[in-house]
Amino acid sequence: MNEEKEIKVSKTDPDSGYMIRDVKPEGFFYLDHRTVDMKYDLITDVHVTPGNVHDSVLYLSRLDRQQKRFGFQVEAIALDSGYLTTPICRGLQSRNIFAVIALRRLHSKQGLFPKWKFTFDAEQVLFVCPAGQELKYRTTDRKGYQQYASDPEQYKNCPFLTECTQSKNHQKVVTLMSGRTARIGCGTTGLASQASSCTANEKKRLSEASRIL
């Protein structure tokens, strides 16, 4: 049996969407999705959605709109980590567009040591925890994150265990971006896109701008 998903609706502005994101305010907002020409620093597209619409949902359709409306010959695009999804990668590849997409940064859980507390030893290629234990390289996942893991037998008696990990096997895993980016297709110049939160008044101004574009 499928559970119904509860969607919060504003009583004063039902067109807005309830947004919950890291390092952003929580509440009813709108998102303005902008595309910028990287060579001339000109905004080429503005589209406003409720705050609960993910950045990646409408990206390809907005890209196609710009190409059709302005006759752009897009060779390359730069996107933040919110756009790193399989449909977008597949869509850009089918359009023969080169893309550089940032990898998503993983944040520490509240109450646990932040990542900066773990020191990376480049010579030995491992992390050292606040208690001096070594976290050695284990694997690199499909998204390009290198995983460094502690020895559970050494960690289970650590006085900082509850501040370090909540895993049942007492193992701490720290991830590190390997420096790779998602690259698809070919090309050298193009567009950059991002999404920013905005209020109802800002939404009105952006909607007027989008009609011009």
| β partners of residue 37 | 42, 191
Q: What is the pLDDT of residue 136?
A: 92
> Is residue 195 located within the same domain as residue 161?
no
State whether residue 51 is helix, strand or coil. coil
Q: What is the pLDDT of residue 190?
A: 54
Q: Which pTM does this prediction carry? A: 0.56
> Is residue 23 located within the same domain as residue 54?
yes
Q: What is the pLDDT of residue 201?
A: 55
- Identify whether 101 is part of a domain: no
Alpha carbon distances (Å) from 6 to 49, 102, 116: 19, 31, 36
Tell me which residue of 123, 114, 148 sits closest to 133, measured CA to CA: 148
- Identify whether 157 is part of a domain: yes
Q: What is the pLDDT of residue 180?
A: 39
- Identify whether 189 is part of a domain: yes
Residue-range definition of the domain harbouring residue 60: 17-81+183-212
- Identify whether 103 is part of a domain: no
Beta carbons of 50 and 31 less than 8 angstroms apart: yes
Between β-strands 76-79 and 190-198, what pairing exists: parallel, antiparallel or unpaired? parallel
Beta carbons of 51 and 17 less than 8 angstroms apart: yes
- Identify whether 161 is part of a domain: yes
Using 70 as the pLDDT threshold, list the residues of the chain that sit under it: 1-5, 22-23, 103-108, 177-213
- Identify whether 102 is part of a domain: no
> Is residue 24 located within the same domain as residue 76?
yes
Q: What is the pLDDT of residue 67?
A: 93
Q: What is the pLDDT of residue 182?
A: 36
- Identify whether 121 is part of a domain: yes
Q: What is the pLDDT of residue 210?
A: 43
> Is residue 192 located within the same domain as residue 207?
yes
> Is residue 168 located within the same domain as residue 141?
yes
What proportion of the chain, given as a percentage, has pLDDT over 90?
A: 18
Domain total of the chain = 2
Q: What is the pLDDT of residue 213?
A: 44
